[in-house]
Amino acid sequence: MEHFIWNIDPNIFTFGPLQLRWYGVLFVGSFFLGLLLMQWIYKRENRDPAEVDSLLFYVMAGAVVGARLMHCLAYEPDFYLSHPLEIFKVWNGGLASHGGLLGVLLALWIFARRHNESYFWLISRMTIPGALSAFFV
C-alpha cells in the first residue's frame, strides 16, 4: 500500500433529522479544552479565572464569525454578494480556518481593550489553547 485513504464518515450518529458530526464535536471540544487551559493559566498567574468565561464568548464569536465570513468572501464571493442572507446559514457548511484565526485575533484585541488587558499578554497565553484548537479542527 503506497498511500493511506482517510474516508471517515462525518457523522458520529444520526437520530431522525438530527446529526452529531465529528467536526462539531471536535470544534466544541477544542473550546472546552481551551477554557480549562486558560482557567489554569489565570489561576497560576493569580488572575481572576472567572474572566475566562467572558474570554471564551469573545473567542467563540470571533472564530465562528471570522471563519464564516472568510469562507463566503474568499471562496464564493459572487454567490454570497448576490445572496447575502445565505451568509447566516452556517448549517449549510462553509468555514475557513484562516478566517477563524483572524476573527479570534480581532476578538482578543477587543477583549483586551474592554478588560484593560495587555493584548500581547493575552496572545502569548492563548498560543497553547490555539494550537490545540487548530489540531482538533
Residue 1's pLDDT is 60
Q: Give pTM, 2 decimals.
A: 0.87
Confidence class for position 104, pLDDT limits 50, 70, 90 = very high
What is the tens place of the pLDDT at every residue in 7-64?
888 899 999 988 898 988 999 999 999 999 999 999 999 999 999 999 999 999 999 9
Q: Where are the alpha helices (DSSP H) in the chain?
A: 22-44, 51-75, 77-82, 97-114, 119-125, 127-136
What grid cell was written down for 38? 486558560
- Give the separation between CA 119 and CA 137, rounded to whole angstroms: 24
pLDDT at 117 over 70: yes
Bridge partners, residue 21, by sequence: 11
Q: Rounded to an integer, what is the distance from CA 79 to the centroid of its chain? A: 24
- Give the separation between CA 25 and CA 60, rounded to whole angstroms: 14
Bridge partners, residue 19, by sequence: 14
Domain boundaries, the chain: 18-136
Confidence class for position 114, pLDDT limits 50, 70, 90 = very high
State phi, psi for 83 to the nearest 5 degrees: -130, 70
What grid cell was written down for 22? 465529528
Q: Rounded to an integer, what is the distance from CA 20 to the centroid of its chain? A: 18
pLDDT at 77 over 70: yes
pLDDT at 123 over 90: yes
